[in-house]
Structure 1
């Protein structure tokens, strides 16, 4: 069966849009349900190595999973999907075919459908994509599906496979970006991406809160040398031929609060983009107040909590006297603590202490 131009507009557009929509494929399923006269349409998604009862189900019309759960048939609902992994991709199966060789399953299947008031089902397995499996499922309360309904599922299936591949790849990139951003935030590193004209293409949340921006998406600063440096480095990075080396440079972005950045060229920018980043500014941000770092430092070096807090205060640039005042300690107590800290951490003074703390994973807390 060939998809008509109306089918392409009615079904394929929401199918491909569903990769990015918040509602995922609800619109596509609603239109598929209407097109086939189904009372229930579902797209079932799962990892290739995961049990079927852990699969995600997006549905339109009757929510059979919820209905089964309400009448105590959740276990039967999960069992109904056990044969799905044995299905051959691209072929439409009737519900009876799934349990053809098992009398006990046939009986349970019939009881299950009677309880839910389902008269007919159709299932097609989508060709697996990059570790993900998918199935399209239709159900009717009365009457049976026609041959044209099955033919429509077969015609749509390759397009669902493409949408699934795009979804898997997009989700992978989203997860990578989220984890990278989380790691940078933990390390208190902010970033800004500039195009060849030193306009800001993107920035993280911390930098967005710190930096004033002009209406034409440039950094608002009174420092002429900063504006010139950004323009020079952006142009140099954009014009670097054959990945020619462009040395990183340091520039002051803000005076209050003081914020320096390392400017690093981006030689691997995408060839086609609405705004191509060519220059990255990396900034070391001040640590956030909180107890996370102290708890990690105490665990790493087997320190009592107050000693860990003192070690962090010293590593932040305070003298022992200043750290004692900050923490409400006497100077004598702070000095005694510092001696025990040096012994436990295996250092021989404040300089080594600061280095040991700054190189530890405690700062990721």
Structure 2
């Protein structure tokens, strides 16, 4: 393999990071073959056709010839390189020839591939002079690598969609994670953690990327845990209550899968979970959702936090007898069969994701 072809392959496999996709590869392909233009047409099973190009653009009539029929194999066999005369089928194709000649693209070589999602792709070079056998041979050798790159794009888009959905759900549940090194510097974090930093003063992204806490005691404890985890991956994890209203908890555990890294080595994983709403906000939402009176909603929320009726009564300044009467009305309005059922009903309602 000559150096030029090696550079082409490197640009092809690195093309997922280009904007637009594969722009450098198409530039290099046009230069390597002496083409006036190089293009990549992508036709997914659903959605719009994508046209990526360098130099002169293929006329729309030729693009339409490639993409019109749903059975692309009828026109072009996968993996075979075609010249223009092989794609001309009838007298009406004179329009295609005229359009190409008008743009100085009287000669083409084109290759069709299909990726794992059944997306058809056409890699085409075009110019005003005929291409030799070397250009067709180059396209043929690039074909398997282009197919790998297309499948990598498919996998990357799938991962992005899944990550986006997961991130949205973690945000709705007010859950996030981050990793820190032995000096409490943030190494990585879920996308929604930045929103948590913005919304609360309980913890923040400090100077030099250090994770800091409003509570000096928690700050010291987490720093000590990070140092301990750096030396002992089996050290005991620890949970922290960062706030009661709105509640926010944190669980700190040794990094489960440590791999060699050229950057900071993460030693601890921190899971954050909490509520973006205050107790008063939640009581208003319970009132709206279940038709509870404000006094009943306050008791229901306290019970949902795991407080017994007696403990909740004391917190709210109620007698136990009054709290028991309220609880009966709460169970009736929510359809709960008891406190455990009440907790389930509240935390499987829409309140859990707002």
Equivalent in the alignment of 2:25: 28
Q: Post-superposition shift, 1:356?
A: 1.2
Corresponding residue for residue 321 of structure 1: none
RMSD of the alignment, in Å? Answer: 4.4
Three-state SS of the structure 2 residue aligned to 1:125 is strand
1:57 paired to 2:46: no
The worse-fitting range, judged by mean Cα deviation, of 27-36 and 129-138 is 129-138
* Deviation at residue 155 of structure 1 after TM alignment: 3.5
Q: Secondary structure at the match of 2:16?
A: coil
- Equivalent-residue separation in structure 1 for 2:69 and 2:96 (angstroms): 9
Question: Could you tell me whether the CA contact under 8 Å between 1:46 and 1:56 is conserved in 2?
Answer: yes
Equivalent position of 2:171 in the other structure: 185
TM-score (norm 1): 0.67
Contact 2:249 2:272 in 1 (8 A): yes
> What are the Cα deviations for residues 21-41 of structure 1, in whole angstroms up to 9, with x where unaligned?
232211221222233233332
TM-score, normalised by the number of residues in structure 2:
0.69
d(CA) in 1 for partners of 2:176, 2:23:
37
- In the other structure, the counterpart of 1:156 is 142
Task: Kindly indicate whether the alpha-carbon contact (under 8 Å) linking 1:229 and 1:251 is maintained by their aligned counterparts in 2.
Answer: no
Q: 1:179 to 1:345 in 2, by over 3 A?
A: same
- Match in the other structure for 2:268: 279
- The correspondence for 2:90, drawn from 94, 106, 113, is 106
Q: What displacement does 1:182 show? A: 1.4
For 2:84 and 2:300, the matched residues in 1 are separated by: 67
Once the two structures are TM-superposed, the CA of residue 46 in structure 1 deviates from its matched residue by: 4.9
Structure 1 equivalent of residue 212 of structure 2:
220
Q: Is the partner of 1:212 in helix, strand or coil? A: strand
Note closer, same or farther for the CA distance 1:42–1:339 as it changes in structure 2 (3 Å cut): farther
Q: Which runs of 5+ in 1 are unaligned?
A: 100-104, 319-337
Q: Cα distance, 1:201 vs. partner?
A: 0.8
- Corresponding position of 1:122: 109
2:76–2:112 CA contact under 8 A, matched in 1: yes
User: What runs of 5+ residues in structure 2 fail to find an aligned partner?
Assistant: 304-326
> Over residues 290-341 of structure 1, what are the superposed CA-to-partner deviations in whole Å (9 max), with x where a residue is unaligned?
xxx99xx99xxxx9879499898876669xxxxxxxxxxxxxxxxxxx9998
Q: Say which SS state the counterpart of residue 18 (structure 2) adopts.
A: coil
Q: CA deviation at 1:185?
A: 0.6
Q: For residues 122 and 190 of structure 1, what CA distance do their matches in structure 2 show?
A: 51
How far, CA to CA, are the matches of 1:128 and 1:14 in structure 2?
19
Structure 1 partner of 2:251 = 262
d(CA) in 2 for partners of 1:41 and 1:312?
Answer: 67
Q: Which residue is 2:38 aligned to? A: 41
Match of 1:163, SS?
A: helix
1:111-140 Cα offsets, whole Å, 9 max, x none, are 334345452322223574576654312233
Q: Do structure 1's residue 135 and structure 2's residue 122 form an aligned pair?
A: yes
